[in-house]
Amino acid sequence: METVSDQSAFSRQTREQDEGRFVSGNIVLWVAVIAVLVGLNFASWSFCMWVFGQPEHPMNYHLLTRLKKLDPIHGFTPVTAPRGKFFSAKDLYAQVYPFSPTELHAYNGILKRYYLKNYLEQDNVTFLSGEFTVLSVQRLREGMVFPSGVVIRGRSTTFPDALVDFALPSPETPEEFDIKVGQILKIEESTTCAAVLNIERLPDSTMVFTVVPLVSRVFEFGEDARIEVKPTERIEIEPELWPISEDMESLEEKPVELSDVAQEAAGEATDAPKPVEAGKE
């Protein structure tokens, strides 16, 4: 018969060794589980911070709007509009000209982020003002940045290397909105508060500034060009939708009537066009 000794399977020393290995294994397992849980918690927290902190990314924006975690976009009055700096086309061009493509992409993201968050606690909005020669006017429709309204493409009268896409979102696209090419579009400062949403650098170094009025009101640009400007609660922000105008290859054409795609104008512009002021009721 086997006697119980210090080396037998039933000895106290052997049992203590087995129990020690079991406890040690459990500790390692629990440490691993806790480490995984901490990692998942950190990843979840980081993901939430990224989604809420950068709504200008299409995936984040669609997720936040679907979950109703982002306030709808709203308009302002001249009194309640956020503060910022008004740039001429030339000054804004000079400011962003040194940007690399990566820097310009990041800057555009910041411009959109402020707009999507209704400029909450922001007092450094980038505004554009000045006079622009009208090149075209197009309808806004579903699938574009704004689903309804019009967009006016113009060239700066003082700095030809700068173009503007003056987006005028509206609850309904007007049936008639006639602006003749060559007319001078005057974007006022405080009465319009045209915030810059995107800057596109073309291959020839021309820049297209996409702007939208923050002031909700009726804008008149002529007898047959009147529109109620009011921002839509949601927009489309995919990169391929910017800039908004679709006549990139025919900037010097002369479309004078509102159309789904800019049409060539019949006739020539007047020699002495009169300015039309954005925001004049």
Tens-place pLDDT, residues 63-110: 999 999 999 999 999 999 999 999 999 999 999 999 999 999 999 999
| 71 within some domain | no
What digits encode the pLDDT tens for the residues 98-119? 999 999 999 999 999 999 999 9
Burial (CB count <10 Å: 0-12, 13-18, 19+), residue 22: exposed
Does residue 29 fall inside a structural domain?
no
Q: Looking at the whole model, is its pTM more than 0.85?
A: no
Please count the structural domains in the chain. 1
Is residue 197 domain-resident? yes
Residue 170 counted as domain residue: yes
Q: Is residue 256 part of a domain?
A: yes
- 48 domain residue, yes or no: no
Q: How many angstroms separate the CA atoms of 29 and 222, rounded?
A: 76
Through-space distance between the first and last CA atoms of the chain, rounded to whole angstroms:
112
Are 11 and 19 in contact by the 8 Å Cβ rule? The answer is: no
Q: Tens digit of pLDDT for each residue in 162-204? A: 999 999 999 999 988 989 899 999 999 989 999 999 999 999 9
Task: Count other Cβ atoms within 10 Å, centred on residue 165.
Answer: 23
Q: Which domain holds residue 171?
A: 84-278
